[in-house]
Amino acid sequence: NYTGNTGAVLDLAVNDTQLAAACADTNLRVYPRAATAEQLAVKEVAATATIKHPAVVRSVASSGPLFVTGSDDSLIRRWDPALGELERLSGQGGQILSLA
């Protein structure tokens, strides 16, 4: 169980070491991915980073060690879980419901 979400989880993205959950509570939560038997045995996994997003996150995708989000405010954002927001891409006209 990945804990900490207080709203509906709207999308997930996975990279080699992390899982990111886009949540309707306007947070992007990043969790470690289990790799060892000991890690797989843990029943509840807490987020290693919780990024307060300025709008409801509708979609999330991984880009190497970074994550990209699409939201209700028509912006695509690129995030480093340790550093926060790196950049914003504008020009879309509505919710960003899918990313690849």
Highest average pLDDT, of 30-34, 36-40, 65-69, 95-99, comes from: 65-69
Max Cα–Cα distance, the chain, nearest Å: 46
Asked if residue 22 lies in contact with residue 59, where contact means CB atoms within 8 angstroms, the answer is yes
Question: Tokens 């289990």 identify what position?
Answer: 34
Q: Residue 16 corresponds to which tokens in the numbers above? A: 């080699």
The pLDDT confidence band at residue 94, using thresholds 50, 70 and 90, is: confident
